[in-house]
Chains A and B, each alone.
Chain A
Amino acid sequence: MKRRRLAVALAAGFVAAAGACTPDVGSSRIPTAMQFDLTTAPPRAPQPTALIVNPQTGLIDFSLAGTPIPADCSTQTALTPAQCQFDQWLQTLDGFPSLTTASAPASGPLDRTTLTLGTNVDVFACDPKAAGGCAANGAPVTSGLAVDFDPTSNSLTVTPPGPWTLGELYWMGVRGYANGIRDTAGAPVVGSPTMALLREDSPLTCGATDPSQVKPDCAGYQVVAQGNPMPTPTAAAMQLFQLEAIRLAYLGGGGFDAMTASGLPKDELAVLWGFPIHTNSVPLLLPGTAAVPVVPAANQIVVGVQGPVDAATVSAFVAKVQSGPVVVMDLTAAAAGDLDAGFPPLGAAYLPTPGAALPGAIAIQFAAPFPAGHEIGLFFTNAIHSPDGAPLVASPVSVLLRLTAPLVDSAGHSTVSGVGDTDAAVLEAGRQALAPLFDNPIFTPLTGVTRANLVYCYAFVPTVMP
């Protein structure tokens, strides 16, 4: 009996030992992060970004993000036709449109109350061409900007009350970690592996002069080489050099110094990005905001222009009388076949407005009051220049209206990133209404307006007469 009891006890001991469970390795919560991943397609990174401004050409170049835009959008399928055409236009600019919302993606929802401008979200504006570096010639922007969280795109957004200043470089930083923004659970928000590398004080490439010379024990290489999906050693070395170029661009562009000047130290930066605004003057158009034409009189409409304009280049097109880059049509009359009424007599001039928020406007004066209930169309071409000879460029809305590709898909979703479904639907209606005009065989030869040279496009129906 004793032997049996001993055997049973021994067996129990063996089973207890043999059944030993896997050790508890512990667990930790995944923190919300400000994302900055250039390896995904499309990259999950702050926008807009100077990283896709080609230092050689000075123009936006999507090939720098690994997504080159072909000359013929019909030859590609990676982008929607509308996105491709829109990106083609962006690549003609030396900076980003002034009516752009800046955004930085997050991995989860952020607590809006912690998105405080000037403390947790810092913006610094400077002239990138000025000597002495950004921090020395710029200044923090501590008021006016709207900082918010967009739950649709899971992004922190920074929206200016009006257009960003032409030619300015904007650096934006978000304070993370213990002293910074919080997610909706109240937890600190962290940065990204990319940001961790960009914050490094020493070269990521460990002294290698080209990717083939990167040593496996180089700390930066070890991080990049363990990416997911794991890159080949060659690809990892290439990525490392790309990151080092960005790090140098951040240093050279004064990004970290600008944030330090704003009171946001390097080690608290969860994300940092910068972007330039193009230098060309632009007739502003953003429906639903102040950036729309105003009608000060029954026969006058004024279009605000950001940036200087050479008044000598502003003139109206008058059918059978004079050509000019400012074309105004009574679309209702033209549609009825009355071309004389469709191109009513008018004049156009540039009106400087010193001291105003915008330096000037293009005023269009009809000989008679606008015909009530008629749809009036305004079209400007890039024959209008600034005093330095640079042509005006279009605003994004004008560009979207002139595209040949649809702005919404069959499911009603926007086909252009950054344009919401609702806005895309409204713009698509306008695009479809204007398309017959651009495709009309008479319109372009008569007016000189083409999709390519159009920098402003707007239609309105005067219903209330002063």
Chain B
Amino acid sequence: MKTRAAVLLALGVALVARPSRAAGFLIYDISGSAIARASAVTADDEEPAAVWFNPANLAFMGGVSASAGGVFITDKTSFSPSGGGAEINTERGNFLLPEFFANGRLTDRVALGMGAFSTFGIGISWPDDWEAGRQAAIKASLETLTLNPTVAVLVHPRVSVAAGFDAVRSVVDFTNGLPAIIGGDVRLAGGTWGYGFNVGALYKIYPGRLHVALTYRSRVALHFDDGRAHFTPANPDFAPVLPDQGGTASITLPDIITVGVMGRPRPDLALSFDANLVLWSTYDRIDINFQSAPARAIVPNGQNAFTLRAGADWTLPGRVPGLHLRGGLIYDESAIPSGNLGPGLPDANRIDVALGAGYGRGHFRGDLGYLLVVFLPADATGGTEGPVGTYNTIAHLLALTLTATWP
């Protein structure tokens, strides 16, 4: 029993470093089955992670089900200075993000769901001796864990709606270099809770053949009022004026509006298309205030951004019952304008390619998905949030989800 608790605790602790693998620092792709079809699953009532993608789908799911899984992410970013010079590379980031979902029907018309997942995060680590960029970021980490209870109601045999509550625990941990004469760095960390809500709707125009969906997730304000800052100036002359002290900062996670459609031109093929509008304008400026040290402002000047998703799910009922073959494409628009691009969040327009498969038998099913995220070269032109140059990033996501369902 102790071993099991330790494993669970370890899984929880593993929710630490968070990369950002959708525009901005949104991690939209969090389930093995969804990733394989580009997470275009808003209108799919078979998605285990419906609590996240569209809780209205829960009203159409029978029985009780629970799923557990994880997304392994590995990525690396490089920076090429515009004036020439050596390319700078981040440490390769390797992250494991566990996700848990459970849902069950309470009555014929009402279903409940619960999810614990991580959908926003930053995790990047640049060389400490990168002179040009260290003041903007040496290490940046933003972790979130969302606890999301939700209720779905079948308001019509073809229409369901849902609403949920989001409690978001977030921990930030940033290390930035101090000006050259001072040297050394400052590490600022803090944790807080933020709260929001989400709603969703699913309309089965032709049940099983054509569905449309609409979801909305509210913004979540995270006020880090109890942050701690630890200054380690390399030049000791600055140590007396840069003591360890408290700090505050606020970050607002963006609203997300999603529309989706799923159609089955053939019984064995589901095609789906989703579009997300993420209101990254909430992420326009972060003021970091210290008790005595000078305040610092990060100005990402976030812009609202679209993401377009297309996915396909092909089954082989005649040959391998229970097998799903999946694929998808994503175009993800950068949330940070080039003039505000910095090493803490080297955002870019992205093109993602998804592949995967799933297999179910009896009460159990397993889904495996892979996503190749190709960041298009992103020019940082401003010079205020970091050095001028070009960022290049490649990321790979591999997700496995195991689901158990009881009628």
Contacts and interface: CB of A to CB of B under 8 A. Distances in A.
Interface of A: 6-7, 9-10, 12-14, 16-28, 30-33, 107, 177, 188, 190-193, 195-197, 200, 216-217, 219-220, 222-223, 225-228, 230, 270
Contact of A22 (B167, B182, B226): B226
B263 to A, nearest CB: 35
Contact of A226 (B167, B179, B180): B179
B209 interface: no
Interface stretch (B34-42, B230-238, B350-358): B230-238
Contacts of B191: 20-22
Given A16-B12, A27-B230, A226-B179, A10 B100 contact: yes
A63 B79 CA distance: 49
Given A10-B100, A17-B13, A19-B169, A190 B239 contact: yes
A193 B236 CA distance: 9
Contact of A193 (B4, B102, B135, B238): B238
A31 B241 CA distance: 10
A19 B191 CA distance: 9
Given A17-B116, A18-B145, A9 B239 contact: no
Contacts of A195: 237
A27 B231 CA distance: 8
Closest 10 CB pairs of A and B: A17-B12, A13-B8, A222-B179, A25-B230, A196-B237, A33-B240, A22-B191, A191-B237, A190-B236, A226-B294
Contacts of A10: 8, 100, 102, 116
A177 B12 CA distance: 44
Interface of B: 4-5, 8-9, 11-13, 15-16, 66, 100, 102, 116, 135, 143, 145, 147, 167, 169, 171, 173, 179-182, 187-191, 226-232, 235-241, 243-244, 292-295, 383-384
A391 B293 CA distance: 51
A30 B243 contact: yes
A19 B227 CA distance: 15
A9 B181 contact: no
Contact of B181 (A14, A107, A219, A227): A219
Given A18-B145, A23-B171, A13 B239 contact: no
A193 B12 contact: no
A25 B189 contact: yes
B235 A196 contact: yes
A13 B187 contact: no
A6 B310 CA distance: 36
Given A9-B5, A17-B145, 12 more contacts: A12-B5, A14-B147, A17-B169, A28-B232, A28-B244, A30-B243, A31-B239, A188-B236, A192-B237, A196-B181, A196-B182, A219-B179
Contact of A25 (B167, B181, B188): B188
A13 B13 CA distance: 9
Given A9-B8, A18-B169, A230-B295, A25 B236 contact: no
Contacts of A226: 179, 293-294
B12 A13 contact: yes
A14 B116 contact: yes
Name the residue in A10, A31, A195 with the highest tally of chain B Cβ atoms < 10 Å from its Cβ.
A10
A223 B182 contact: yes
B55 to A, nearest CB: 18
23 contacts: A6-B66, A9-B5, A12-B5, A13-B100, A14-B147, A16-B9, A17-B116, A17-B169, A18-B116, A18-B145, A18-B147, A18-B167, A18-B169, A20-B143, A21-B191, A28-B230, A30-B239, A31-B239, A33-B240, A193-B182, A196-B181, A196-B235, A225-B294
